[in-house]
């Protein structure tokens, strides 16, 4: 008997064991949603520009 052919098939080597609860495209993190990180970066740049202008003026 060939024991190598018996038993359950082996799982893929590079597959996740479970789905993430906040994966991209899910209800909690939809694809079309505006990126909060980009919004924060824009706010930071605007704040830095205002600070630079304030330093220039006095």
What SS3 class is residue 55? helix
pTM of the predicted model, to two decimals? Answer: 0.39
Tokens of 30: 């939809």
* Residue spans per domain, the chain: 18-57
- Each residue's pLDDT, cut to its tens digit, for the chain (58 residues) gives 677 777 777 767 787 788 888 788 778 777 766 666 777 888 999 999 999 999 999 7
In degrees, rounded to 5, the angle at the alpha carbon of residue 17 between the alpha carbons of residues 15 and 21 is: 110
Tokens of 20: 């993430």
CA-based radius of gyration for the chain: 26
Q: What is the pLDDT of residue 45?
A: 93
Q: Are 34 and 40 in contact (CB under 8 A)?
A: no
Q: What is the pLDDT of residue 11?
A: 67
Q: Are 22 and 29 in contact (CB under 8 A)?
A: yes
């Amino acid at each position: 008997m060939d024991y190598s052919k018996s038993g359950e098939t082996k799982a893929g080597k590079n597959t996740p064991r479970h789905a993430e609860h906040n994966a991209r495209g899910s209800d909690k993190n939809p694809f079309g949603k505006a990126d909060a990180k980009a919004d924060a970066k824009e706010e930071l740049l605007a704040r830095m520009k205002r600070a630079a202008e304030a330093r220039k003026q006095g």
